[in-house]
Amino acid sequence: MTEPTDKSISLTEALSAWKTALAPERVCVDHGALEKISRTTLIRSTHPVCILYPRSTAEVQAVVKIANEFNIPLYPISRGKNWGYGDACAPEDGMAIVDLSQMDRIVEVNEELAYAVVEPGVSQKQLYDFLQQKNLKLWMDCTGAGREASLVGNTLDRGFGHTRYGDHFATTCGMEIVLPDSTVVRTGFCHYKKAHAARLYRYGVGPALDGLFCQANLGIVTQIGLWLMPAPEAFCCFAIAVDQYEGLSLLVDRLRPLRMSGILNSALHIANDLRVLSSRFHYPWEETGGMTPLPESIRRKMRKAAGIGAWTTAGAFTGSRAHVRASCHALKKALRGIGRLRFIDDRLLNLGKRVVTFLNWFGVGATLRGQLESLEPVYQLLKGIPNDEALHGAQWRLRRPPPHPPRDPLDYGCGLLWISPVIPMTGSHALAVSRLVEPIFAEYRFEPLITFTMINERSMIGILNVAFDRTDTEECERAVACYHKLMKTLMDEGYPPYRVSLEGMADIYQGSESYWEVAQRIKRALDPNEILAPGRYIPRFNK
């Protein structure tokens, strides 16, 4: 053992104190369990000293107190499904994982004012099922991270979904937080016991602290208010295919006025052909003879067979029937002369399924079936119905055949590194970023799997996937090199990311003026012992 003795002693004591504070079975040091929670789709993984499973805010407080006493740093996770950004891994070895998955109460759902209050252990599926079971006329927004992903976890990393409430942080209202010194603080109006608008008005009075607890390490969020959408009167999904690569530019510029005027009011995703293919197919190892990256001729062939364009967009309008009709009309008008636009509603989708059944009876209809199969999960996400299909993309480059439907990417050796630059919502920037990154992907023999999401009325988040096979050591090396080259290039060119993985944490400190120093000063004030998630976003004190 290379551990210094005093550290071992304090860990032993801490474990003993945690067992008393929680329960022995909720302090896990089992080697297998620690190995399992260390798995990642990134390259490097870190190893914790234990996993703690508190079940209440008071228990989280106790956990934090003991951590301070024995100087064991904590790394809180909600449900640990931080795909592409580090999963459940702490920034460094030797931390105690605080796994909040057993804090899974849906504390409150209010139908009239359309909100829920949830703990970090609540999964997308759990809230969705609850709304269904209670027959509440409320829709949630969900991400493609799968049914088991935590709502709180995604929100605290400022993740996003697909609907009008796609910007998750913007639709939170009131947090309960255990600070690194074990104080509990409630934001918004939640610190006034009787405030009726505690889950209805975000800012409260005085400085608003919520922003400090996203993408940071200043507290353990133990409860959060989430706004939900009243089920709309009408819903109409649309899909746009643009055949030419350069068509991206015009597509973005035509959609921007609709997004900016509020007609298009959801987090619209635009995917390139490869990203769409990766969500339905597996890398054609046989046809390419094992060669990477995907040759242009095969890419074209696959695109044609799948009946998709160079860029595909799927989104939805919700509202009154008349508003949805007006929005469909405005979209048609805006896209005149570019791309292929299709509207899909429940009726058409069901009809499509019946047609496929009919065609299958004649032995045809495979392409249509494929299209419907790939559309349906997206269609569900647009309605706030979580599903696991989007995880498919992580399997793209696996050497062995992936499972279908996709399962936990960690069980299959999926490698996935996400780079997520924020770019102005203009065609020229979208095309520029696309052109900037493609040669880098090619240089390292990966395919540029790309989506651009219109996250607000003025900007887009690009999600660039470096998908690789973790069982191939040489490919892992190329993947991480590709990642860093992409990060550096994008930072240098003025496209910093909206979110980073452990792998990219150091990149975001560069080229910045004073911001991180100020964040550090706040960190020192709230966490002088640097006990909470040291190295997560806010730089280490001594580094």
According to CB under 8 A, which residues from 205 to 234 bind a second copy? 205-216, 218, 227, 229-230, 232-233
Size of site (CB under 8 A) for a second copy = 101
- C-beta closer to a second copy: residue 97 or 425: 425
Comparing CB distances to a second copy, the nearer of 108 and 373 is 108
Please state the φ and ψ torsions of residue 403, each to the nearest 5 degrees: -75, 155
Q: If you write DSSP's letter for every residue of 261-309 in order, what string do you get?
A: TTSS-S-EEEEEHHHHHHTT----HHHHTT-SS--HHHHHHHHHHHT--
Looking at the Cβ atoms of 369 and 488, the one nearer to a second copy is 488
Q: Mask 10-49, x = binds a second copy (CB under 8 A)? A: ----------------------------------------
Q: Is 498 in the site for a second copy (CB under 8 A)?
A: yes
DSSP string, 315-329: EEEEESHHHHHHHHH
The enclosing H or E element of 349 equals: helix 346-361
Q: Which two tokens stand for residue 154?
A: 């995604």
Do the Cβ atoms of 164 and 229 come closer than 8 Å? yes
* Using rule CB under 8 A, residue 137 touches a second copy: no
Instruction: Please state the closest distance from residue 74 (CB atom) to a second copy, in A.
Output: 18
Q: Show Cβ contacts of residue 47 under 8 Å, excluding neighbours closer than 6 positions.
A: 34, 35, 38, 93, 94
Residues 434-473 that bind a second copy (CB under 8 A): 455-459, 461
| Angle at 312 (CA atoms; ends 308, 313), nearest 5 degrees | 145
Q: Which of 429, 441, 470, 501 binds a second copy (CB under 8 A)?
A: 429
Assign 72 to helix, strand or coil.
Answer: coil
Which range of residues in 14-22, 27-35, 120-128, 185-193 is near a second copy by CB under 8 A?
A: 185-193
DSSP state of 394: G
By C-beta, is 17 or 430 nearer to a second copy?
430
The residue from 3, 20, 44, 192 that contacts a second copy (CB under 8 A) is: 192
Site for a second copy in 310-339 (CB under 8 A): 318-320, 322-323, 325-327, 329-330
Q: What are phi and psi of 257, to 5 degrees?
A: -60, -35
Least distance (Å) between residue 15 CB and a second copy? 29
* Residue bearing tokens 């998709």: 308
- In angstroms, give the least distance from the CB of 317 to a second copy: 11
Choose the binding region for a second copy from 282-290, 396-404, 418-426, 434-442 (rule: CB under 8 A): 418-426
- Please choose, from the candidates 400, 270, 415, 265, the residue with its C-alpha nearest in 3D space to the C-alpha of residue 338: 270
Q: By the 8 A CB rule, do 359 and 365 touch?
A: yes
Q: Which of residues 89-128 bind a second copy (CB under 8 A)?
A: 112-115
Quick check: 518 binds a second copy (CB under 8 A)? Answer: yes
Q: Which is nearer to a second copy, 87 or 176 (CB)?
A: 176
| R_g over Cα of the chain | 24
CB of 223 to a second copy, least distance (A): 14
Query: What residues from 55 to 84 belong to the interface with a second copy (CB under 8 A)?
Result: none
Contacting a second copy within 355-384 (CB under 8 A): none
User: Using an 8 Å Cβ cutoff, are 223 and 117 in contact?
Assistant: yes
**Using rule CB under 8 A, residue 423 touches a second copy:** yes
